[in-house]
Copies of this chain bind each other. A is one copy, B any other.
């Protein structure tokens, strides 16, 4: 299995399948079908079968997929069978919300440290975290070999902070600043910008 061979668009759907399977599992359900899964996630059963078959043979005709087995396999493929440490940079409203968000539990991520450069914020507590000074950010990230950051600084600062993070060893950035980041090959970026998501829907409205 070569990571470069599987289209990114399929990789993008796997976390959605995993989330749905986890919810079925939480309800004590042990098996599912591509039909059932498709109805939950709003993707055709044929597409789901095709996506899942990229990674080997799962499920049998007539008996469907074993949910625990498929969860295990997807967690393995997405590398979230382990827990990744994550830092949050920028402790405005969104940074606060993320630091206190409980939706990362059991999904492979652990918020490890949070940073800001505002002297009035540094040293304050947010949930279980003390806000650390961005002056020590690069050092802390290197020491702890952290690979993932959530970036919630203003748009004007985002590119510069991203470069500091990458230099310190970060390889995946979830960017909440409303700006496209320019990053070197080998660094992944995902963007969360509510206006972009809304504009994608207004196209279809009257």
Contact = CB atoms under 8 A, between A and B. Distances in A.
Contacts of A16: 180, 191, 196
A57 interface: no
Contact of A201 (B172, B199, B201): B172
Contacts of A84: 198, 202, 205
Contact of A205 (B104, B147, B199): B147
Contacts of A94: 97, 101
* A: interface residue count bin: 35 or more
Contacts of A101: 93-94, 194
A15 to B, nearest CB: 4
B201 A197 contact: no
A125 to B, nearest CB: 15
Contact of A79 (B103, B109, B171, B203): B203
12 contacts: A19-B179, A19-B193, A19-B195, A41-B180, A42-B183, A79-B202, A79-B203, A98-B194, A108-B195, A108-B198, A109-B195, A171-B205
Interface of A: 3, 11-12, 14-16, 18-20, 23, 39-42, 77-80, 84, 86, 92-94, 96-98, 100-101, 103-104, 107-109, 147-148, 150, 171-172, 174, 178-180, 182-183, 188-205
Given A15-B195, A148-B202, 19 more contacts: A3-B204, A14-B203, A16-B180, A16-B191, A19-B195, A39-B182, A40-B180, A77-B203, A78-B200, A84-B198, A107-B198, A109-B195, A148-B198, A174-B198, A188-B201, A188-B204, A188-B205, A190-B198, A190-B200
